[in-house]
Structure 1
Amino acid sequence: MKKVSIIVGAYNAHNTLAKCLTSLVHQTLDDIEIIVVNDASRDDTWEIMQRCREQFPDKVIILNNEQNLGCGGAKNTGLEIAQGEYIGFCDSDDYCASNMFELLYQKAKEKDADMVDCGFYVEASDATTISTPNEAEGILDDEKRRILILQGGYLWSKLIRRELFFDPPIKMRNHVRILSDNDVLKYLYLKAKDIWTVKEVLYYYSDAPGSDTKIIDQDKYFESIYGVIEGTYRLCHDLPSYEAAKQTIEYAQAVWYSYGINRCLYDQILKLGADEKHVSDYFDRINDSERQMISELAKLKEKVIKIPYRDNPEVTSRISELDIKIMEECDRRFGQDELR
């Protein structure tokens, strides 16, 4: 068994992949495998991968998706063959410090950890941060899980024990461009016994122009929002730790629900202004496509959010009154109340 498997999904990554792979093949940790998945690219990504494998055949494994499966699907392809004791990820437009996986692995072995996190640098904002604050580090209890869920975070800054992906087996969602692993991350926070940190900046997030996270197409955005809400519920609601985390998880679900509604109402909010007196007008003026999207979201919401918004202190303290009223209007028009 390898110490670490590092999975890289690559799609049309001509401009960034060489830098990304260079940072990985020169990792100071021995006995790693770098699994690079070409997600049906239309440029020379596959050729770059082949050249890298020829130079580093003892470290690099390349796979080719004949159909584009999105960043989540590419990660699934890599996970299918991963042999590492721990699993890490790197996006093809990012890069890592040469000692990143050595330091994360050392910490994981020292603590017998399920997860280890590190600091990262965001080039676009010239800012450094770490997703796991001091008060959430260590053996996880209800409060630490609450902090982690509220804080969010990313798979690519973490090293994760392989059993969390394979016992039982879980997969990320295919055919989505954004939020492909947000539901998986919440699952890991609820499932893991502990999380520790290496308090150094080891990952460099480029946020390159044209990256998947910048997609604003309404249909794709809706699919991603719907998928992360449904995926979070499917992965998490049967876990023993779910009930204690229910308020926080349902707050996170409400955030995505609000984003999805507001994306459909965007043109009307822009025209009429963001004001509680216009909430009903927003819905009156949407087109049939937007109405269908909102209706589907409202039906899903009824399945996954059981605590009334105003009875959930996470919601009332963190979501604006305008957005709560927009959600309530949406529920009234498109949820079960619509049938009464």
Structure 2
Amino acid sequence: MKNKEPKISVIMPVYNAEKTIERAILSIINQTYNNIELILINDGSTDGTENIMKSYLEKENKIDIKYYFQKNSGPSIAKNLGIDMAKGEYILFVDSDDTISENYIESLVINQKEDTLIGASYKIIRDTEKNDNGIIITNKIYDIRNEILNDLVIGNLNGFVVLYLFNKEQMKDIYFEKDIRYMEDTLFLIKYIINNNINNIIYLKDVYYNYYQTDGSITNNTNKIIKNILSFTNSIRKIENIIPKEEKELKEICKKNRANRISKLIENNVSKIRERKILKEYQKSEEIKQIIKELIEDCNINKVYKLYLKFTMNSPYILFLAYVKIREILKKMK
């Protein structure tokens, strides 16, 4: 089916993935559905990734494989380039360290319906010695638009774009935002649903996206505490801003959710501080001070947690470190 106008465009942004890119490519080539173009976007890789990808361009594959190179600009810009290059009726996103089950694309295509988003289940595969891999199956069928948006906003509905098949024609002017690190998928998904009046989401059983979770994944990077908090806060606010003004109830849910989710992220990140220098930078940051001030004034945050926020901003290093150690011990005792 090479050189035929493809029905499905699979967009795969790639950066320094020499250990995983081959399995990702093979999972696309080995699909039971072959009317596919695979668009590989090399986001400025500096390892052996480029050679592996180019080797597949020279092979006789049952699918069409295209390759593009860009200077390192991040996954959002890579995906946007892929969207512009795609020739298929539908678009699917797959990350370069993950794989999809053999029937993945075929199942998503067969089940396509008007005004409906078709999604898959996913497996979490951790590259650790512990055998703690999990299968996440969403059995719920969404048939109310506000319920879809509500669950996306509060985090009850999976916002990973890799789980869904998108109609290319319906993606006009919908792109990933390049200036955010958190929830760019959720933001993209909400735009797509609002712009196209999507009223239904159906999740398929026995169709799996295999998500490989490693210590090096961008989503597990907790070194830059302040940047994490600021980026997350920015993302939450962007999501709140794209909800239509007439959706007053949903706007209010967004506001409550913003306070709760930012608070949890602050707690998770601040508890990982181990250096005096990082704590000082955190406590002196004017942007962090403003976020903390807003949370303390927010009626959705309980008094105990407000005291905790004040403590993290004013505590001496030794006292803060003692708190972190006690917290770790209490967690292990649970």
- 176, 181, 185: which is aligned to 2:185? 181
Q: 1:260 to 1:145 in 2, by over 3 A?
A: closer
Q: Distance in 1 between matches of 2:122 and 2:236?
A: 26
Aligned equivalent of 1:335: none
Say whether 1:7 aligns with 2:11.
yes
Aligned equivalent of 2:149: 145
Aligned equivalent of 1:216: 222
Deviation at 1:6? 1.2
Q: Distance in 1 between matches of 2:245 and 2:90?
A: 22
- 289, 294, 305: which is aligned to 2:288? 294
Q: 1:267 to 1:127 in 2, by over 3 A?
A: closer
Give 2:288's aligned amino acid. Answer: I
Equivalent pair of 1:70/1:175 in contact (CA under 8 Å): no
Q: Distance in 2 between matches of 1:232 and 1:148?
A: 10
Give 2:48's aligned amino acid. Answer: D
Give 1:254's aligned amino acid. Answer: A
Q: Distance in 2 between matches of 1:32 and 1:225?
A: 35
**Deviation string, structure 1 residues 145-181 (Cα, Å, up to 9, x no partner):** 3234431311111112224431xx1222326555332
Give 2:121's aligned amino acid. Answer: G
Q: Distance in 2 between matches of 1:328 and 1:296?
A: 12
Q: 1:264 to 1:26 in 2, by over 3 A?
A: closer
- 5+ residue gaps, structure 1: 272-284, 311-315, 331-340
Say whether 1:262 aligns with 2:264.
no
- 199, 212, 215: which is aligned to 1:193? 199
Q: TM-score, normalised by structure 1?
A: 0.74
Deviation at 1:117? 0.8
Say whether 1:106 aligns with 2:99.
no
Aligned equivalent of 2:251: 246
**Deviation string, structure 1 residues 13-57 (Cα, Å, up to 9, x no partner):** 000000000000221223221111111111011111111222238
Aligned equivalent of 2:136: 129
Q: Distance in 2 between matches of 1:207 and 1:255?
A: 25
Q: TM-score, normalised by structure 2?
A: 0.75
Aligned equivalent of 1:119: 121
Q: Distance in 2 between matches of 1:291 and 1:36?
A: 43
Equivalent pair of 1:14/1:43 in contact (CA under 8 Å): yes
Identity of aligned residues (%): 23
Deviation at 1:60? 1.1
Q: Distance in 1 between matches of 2:135 and 2:178?
A: 30
SS at match of 1:198: strand
- 5+ residue gaps, structure 2: 127-131, 313-334
Aligned equivalent of 2:320: none
Aligned equivalent of 1:49: 53
Give 2:125's aligned amino acid. Answer: E
Q: Distance in 2 between matches of 1:226 and 1:148?
A: 16
Aligned equivalent of 1:93: 97
Regions of 4+ moved over 4 Å: 175-178, 324-330
Say whether 1:228 aligns with 2:235.
yes
**Deviation string, structure 1 residues 105-143 (Cα, Å, up to 9, x no partner):** 1111xx22441111111112321113x442xx2433323
> How many residues align structurally?
294
Aligned equivalent of 2:243: 237
**Alignment root-mean-square deviation, CA:** 3.3
